[in-house]
Amino acid sequence: MNKEALADLRDNPLFRQQCFVDGEWADADSGAVLQVDNPANREFIGQVPRMGQAEAQRAIEAANCSLPAWREQTAEARGAILYRWHQLMLAHQETLAAIMTLEQGKPLAESLGEIKYAASFFKWFAEESRRAYGRTIPAANSDQRIVVIKQPIGVAAAITPWNFPSSMITRKAGAALAAGCTMVVKPASATPFSALALAELAHQAGVPRGVFNVVTGSAREIAGEMTGNPLVRKVSFTGSTEVGSVLMREAASNVQKLSLELGGNAPFIVFEDADLDAAVEGAIAAKFRNTGQTCVCVNRFYVQDAVHDAFVEKLKKRIESMHLGDGFDPQSDVAPLINQEAVDKVLSHVDDAVGQGASLVSGGKPDTRGDNYVLPTLLTGVRQSMQIMREETFGPVVAVSRFATEAEAIDWANDTPFGLAAYFYSENVHRVWRVAEAIEAGMVGINAGLISNAAAPFGGVKSSGLGREGGVEGLEEYLETKYLLMG
Q: Which stretch binds ligand SIN (CB under 6 A): 28-36, 294-302, 375-383, 405-413?
A: 294-302
Q: Which stretch binds ligand SIN (CB under 6 A): 162-170, 302-310, 317-325, 399-407?
A: 162-170
Q: Within positions 258 to 287, which residues make up the interface with ligand SIN, using CB under 6 A? A: 261
Q: How far is CA 97 from CA 255, 285, 306, 331, 455, in A?
A: 38, 20, 43, 16, 22
CA–CA distance, 453 with 474 (Å, rounded to integer)? 12
Q: Which is nearer to ligand SIN, 57 or 463 (CB)?
A: 463
Per DSSP (E only), the strands in 60-204 are 135-137, 145-152, 155-159, 182-186
299 binds ligand SIN (CB under 6 A): no
Shortest Å distance, C-beta 464 to ligand SIN: 10
Residue of 110, 128, 261, 469 marked catalytic = 261
Site string for ligand SIN, 242-261 (x = CB under 6 A): -------------------x
Which H helix or E strand runs over 61? Answer: helix 53-72
Shortest Å distance, C-beta 453 to ligand SIN: 9
Residue of 19, 181, 295, 297 marked catalytic = 295
129 binds ligand SIN (CB under 6 A): no
Neighbour tally for 13: CB within 10 Å: 10
CA–CA distance, 23 with 5 (Å, rounded to integer)? 29
CA–CA distance, 99 with 231 (Å, rounded to integer)? 33
Tell me the DSSP string of 195-211: HHHHHHHHHHHTPPTTS
Among 70, 122, 164, 328, binds ligand SIN (CB under 6 A): 164
241 binds ligand SIN (CB under 6 A): no
The sign of the CA dihedral 163, 166, 171, 172 is positive
Bridge-based pairing of strands 135-137 and 145-152 is antiparallel
168-205 per-residue burial string, b: 16 or more CB within 10 A, e: under 16: bbbbbbbbbbbbbbbbbbbbbbbbbbbbbbbbbbbbeb
296 binds ligand SIN (CB under 6 A): yes
Q: Which is nearer to ligand SIN, 101 or 163 (CB)?
A: 163
Shortest Å distance, C-beta 460 to ligand SIN: 9
Q: Collapsing DSSP states into helix, strand and coil, what is residue 455?
A: coil
Q: Which is nearer to ligand SIN, 260 or 303 (CB)?
A: 260
- Closest-CA residue to 395 (of 357, 340, 439): 340
Q: How far is CA 460 from CA 248, 276, 362, 464, 477, in A?
A: 16, 28, 32, 5, 14
Q: Within positions 188 to 207, which residues make up the interface with ligand SIN, using CB under 6 A? A: none
184 binds ligand SIN (CB under 6 A): no
163 binds ligand SIN (CB under 6 A): yes
Q: Within positions 450 to 469, which residues make up the interface with ligand SIN, using CB under 6 A? A: 452, 458
Query: What secondary structure, in 3-state letters, does 92-123 show?
Result: CHHHHHHHHHHHHCCCHHHHHHHHHHHHHHHH
Q: Which stretch binds ligand SIN (CB under 6 A): 10-18, 28-36, 290-298, 375-383?
A: 290-298
CA–CA distance, 373 with 217 (Å, rounded to integer)? 27
Q: Which stretch binds ligand SIN (CB under 6 A): 161-169, 198-206, 320-328, 336-344?
A: 161-169
Strand-pair partners of 486: 145
Q: Which stretch binds ligand SIN (CB under 6 A): 1-9, 163-171, 325-333, 354-362?
A: 163-171
Among 198, 295, 353, 379, binds ligand SIN (CB under 6 A): 295
Shortest Å distance, C-beta 349 to ligand SIN: 18
Q: How far is CA 469 from CA 362, 443, 458, 460, in A?
A: 37, 12, 5, 10
Q: Is 295 marked active-site?
A: yes
Among 294, 304, 380, 464, binds ligand SIN (CB under 6 A): 294
Q: Say which amino acid occupies 243.
A: V
119 binds ligand SIN (CB under 6 A): no
Q: Which stretch binds ligand SIN (CB under 6 A): 89-97, 266-274, 288-296, 362-370?
A: 288-296
CA–CA distance, 115 with 362 (Å, rounded to integer)? 32
Q: Is 19 marked active-site?
A: no
Size of the site for ligand SIN (CB under 6 A): 10
Q: Which is nearer to ligand SIN, 177 or 296 (CB)?
A: 296
Among 64, 66, 238, 401, binds ligand SIN (CB under 6 A): 238
Q: Where does this chain bind ligand SIN (CB under 6 A)?
A: 163-164, 167, 238, 261, 294-296, 452, 458
Query: Could you give the residue numbers annotated as active site?
Result: 261, 295
